[in-house]
Structure 1
């Protein structure tokens, strides 16, 4: 059984007051036209006081923020475009980084995958040393000529007294680096240390944002409360392996997704979700339930009118068709510039693999993020990993299709693709 979902969305994560416009100019989808070369580094607290839930919110904040990019530099040595790095820190010697000059981080997909792989360290808090590590390892030697460098530090402001507090201003000695501090209360509801934040932000109080809790980083509610532009294109496998019962489960799943999302209010609404669904079987055999629409009545009507194809399936041609006709190419592109597109497959991987490698490469060229929900006991692992574009962590497994309807897997699915 196979289901492919294509998502498009932008997020306004949080309003930063009194922050240098340069720092968050990448929120603008036209940033590449105006900003030139821009290097962005997030420094996020991974100490014990943050807690696992809040650390996950920090990662979501990073991903949601970078979703606003117009595009990323496809080559880390390019003199133009945007590069993104991340440092997570805890006690001394535990710092981990996604480097600005990492050649494998050349798309939204690869960056998002790398961020999600970061694991909570849960140790002490050596913030000054982390800032020194950030400059010495991510900025000093890999900085591009004429590139603007923006650093965003997320922390509660408190740090281990054994660390060297003089290094809090380590990033301030380079005039090409703009440092911003976001101070958040920790898991124990302790207020952030404002004095430390001032030092991190190079004594510029206009570059400090204060929050009471980490959920504020994702605007109170990660899914529903954010300003969202979202396009979902479901490609539902109607092959004989799916079976009529699972076909019905799949229709119910699509309806659940529609009900869970904040839909666009009108056809021209720039926010909210629009959905489309195509059932595919063998090459060139498909039926359209509904094209991109925000109307729940139209979605429900389209789902009820679907007929089970009971055919063979070919996922490669379905991917090409989605990219070329549903998303559109060139002047016919139907998605907003800079929006993330995510394909999520629910599949046992048993499908005609003709042109599958080429289809996966096409997803990479379009900077499409992918994930897989695998069902059944006889899944083709090789196909699954290709659909997930090599990321084992992007594969979610359930025993039956009905497992997809359960809150645990359904909610994990929504969080991952968003």
Structure 2
């Protein structure tokens, strides 16, 4: 009941959007990936719609079933619902690669519902608890959200995300531009990435390009996208130069071949800076997203700072997506800020993003 009817509708729209995004990279057919949705409220009110149901033969049927779910209202028995999900939904899945997204205000009635909130942790499931403030403007319960996401347990920890209200769900995937923008995605193609991870990166880059080109913009020619892959000192390849046609860019990304050599992010950044000098539009916002772990052979932090500062003088704003656990923190900070000593935590938080591994690029609800 604390969710409210309107918020319930927003949540359903969000779930359908998640399914749409998953559908771009996953096959939802018998023997392939599976997906299902459980709605719950108080005791024994759970409703399940999933691939494999008699009346659900494809992903379109599932989305229609989600749309038809009616708001239950009532109390909040999250533990019971998670146990139901484990037994009635996840038990159907033959794969041991399971991800569960739990949308809740994080305030389960634990006095009446004694079922553990950590129920999904016991079956090797990566749990994302998405806690959202309710209609009474009460914030989500971070402690319960942490338990749901398996924090502080011997099981694989998940991810706990909090939002103030359901309206923010509309913006989890939103990219808006208030003026013209020239965006470049700088893709690491060095040996340390590995050929399999490089293929995952290509899928991720295609997804980001699509987001940029379909974002709300003030005019049709507002956003252009370039894609550059890099490895060693003289190994930068311009795959797409400030284009607006997604089909053309996607084809170029698909055709990218793994370079499999050293890593020189400085040379790559200098290459991109020169690209903007030659081809960027006057008055356009210049943005670069670098995929990097911060490691670069024979290069010091001072070298990185100089390259970043040269880019900044051209009006380029740099964002970094660091992937993996073996990252060079000092170099990452230099890539984002271009500064020697000063540290702006808020700025770094908005320009440096982290992922635990390459597979997570496609599994997580990527809030970028």
User: How does the TM-score come out when normalised to structure 1?
Assistant: 0.41
User: How does the TM-score come out when normalised to structure 2?
Assistant: 0.46
Larger RCO (alpha carbons 8 Å, 6+ apart): 1
